[in-house]
Amino acid sequence: MTGFLVFAAVLAALLWALARFGAWVKRKGIGGGIMGPIDEVYRPAADRARRETAIHEQRVLPPRPGDDSFRQPPRAAR
């Protein structure tokens, strides 16, 4: 009986640690490197969506002509 309780406690601790690690990875956004090959093989739609999201995040639009939002305001006279 004691062995079963020890086994159950160790299993519960491992599952809790794995859940905490999964939440940390999801919060940091670093799971793509780990899940990338798995998604590519078993879930092609998820792999395509992940790649499209990465491309979209890297894309930077150039400023439009006449757009003054990037200019610094003039300095006040001393």
Q: Could you list the mean pLDDT of each consecutive 10-residue stretch along the chain, which spans 78 residues?
A: 94 96 84 75 83 80 65 58
Q: Tokens 């990338």 label which residue? A: 36
Res 70: pLDDT: 56
Phi, psi of 69 (to 5 degrees): -70, -20
Distance (Å, whole) CA 30 – CA 23: 11
Task: Give the pLDDT confidence score for residue 41 in this predicted structure.
Answer: 84
pLDDT of residue 46: 80
